[in-house]
Amino acid sequence: MRLPRLFPDLLLPSPAERAFASLLQRSEALAERTRQAREWTDDPADTALLVRQAISHLIVAVARLDGKEVASWSDGCAWLAASAEHHPLFKGIRDDLPLLDELAGPDEPAGDDPTANRRYAALVARLPRLIGDVRRHGQARQRAAGGRPRLRRALQSLALGGAIGLAFLVSAAMARAIAPASPARSPAVQKPADPIAALPREIRDDPRRCFRGTYHATKYFDQPVTERVDCAIVFDWGTSSVPGIPGFPAEDFSVRWEGVLQVRVTAEYTFYLKSDEGARLYLDEAQLIDQWERQVGKEVASEPIELRAGRPHRLRLDYVQDGGGAAVQLLWSSTVISKRPLTGHDVFAPGPDDR
């Protein structure tokens, strides 16, 4: 049995210390969200705002140690430029802050800039270490400013804390002696990341992004029941009906997904299709994968195909459910991205001229 930490640091944090810790926690949370999002997208513009917010919290935290309140990102950058004392702390990222303004701004970044992408990737990799540097800097400043008064407060609490701790030890030992042994717990199974949940809300809620799926109540694509936006084709419905479509059959149905694919980097791309039962994938009306025969869970890969940056390609996936379980999954990979689902980062819903 673990004992509760009656005195986490044998010190009671001051309001300034609590505020400093809160800013660091926000930065760490934003850094983790950035890491998760970059598993599904290689576009810096999709995560630059998260990185800028994380660095902004760090600048505010360090500025408050000097008694300076920073009200905005631009104020923080100006304070940082005028405070030579803190240049060593932010030296590794100072020259890249204008890059964040460009990527996170309202205007779409012009073209694909490999140099800017490399600078941004280095900045993201530097973020966790910067958070640690700021934490150590704050701890050193706080120890230098208020170590002795805080130590006195701790010593005054120590006698009461010792008595409470001793009483807890005795009661815990007695409870442990009479309690039956608890069965060993199996380790928790970590669920795979949800590609749709990792997308920014502005993409998930934008009807112009993602795939447009037409759901038919027959196997022949001739009885449409509903049309909806699906931000990734990673479904495992089992023997249940499709969620969100009242009255839709659980067997003997078909779905046609359509989208416009536009890659950001010229490279050779490979597509992967796994379905239960039949599925076919088309790019610009050319068939890439034919998995129409009844098969369960077998993944089929296309031949690598070169796609050029900025050029739109019409993508279509036909899926047929022919009894039993229902599942379908579409992924892709290339020399510049790891294998992952196609999502609203990469696909736009077709317009009237694309269908």
Q: Is it the case that residue 214 has pLDDT exceeding 90?
A: yes
pLDDT digits (tens, 9 = 90+) for 128-175: 888 888 888 888 877 776 554 455 555 555 555 665 666 666 666 666
Nearest-angstrom CA–CA distance, 5 and 161: 10
Task: Report strand pairing: 313-321 vs 253-261.
Answer: antiparallel
Distance between CA atoms of residues 269 and 342, nearest Å: 12
The position carrying tokens 């934008």 is 206
CB 219 within 8 A of CB 252: yes
CA distances from 106 to 88, 101, 271 (A): 31, 9, 32
Cα 237 to Cα 175, 204, 250: the distances in Å are 47, 21, 9
Label residue 49 by pLDDT band (50, 70, 90).
confident
d(CA 128, CA 19): 19
Helix (H) or strand (E) holding 330: strand 326-334
- CB distance 332 to 271 below 8 Å: yes
Give tens-digit pLDDT for 104-128: 766 655 556 778 888 888 888 888 8
- What is the spatial distance between Cα 157 and Cα 25, in angstroms, rounded to a whole number? 28
Report whether 170 contacts 162 (CB < 8 A).
no
Element of type H or E holding 238? strand 234-238
C-alpha–C-alpha distance, residues 194 and 232, integer Å = 10
What pLDDT is stored for residue 174 in this prediction? Answer: 64
15-44: average pLDDT: 80
Please state at what angle helix 114-178 crosses helix 97-104, rounded to 10 degrees.
Answer: 90
Q: What is the largest CA-CA distance in the chain?
A: 80
Q: Which amino acid is at 108?
A: E
Give the model's pLDDT for residue 92. 73
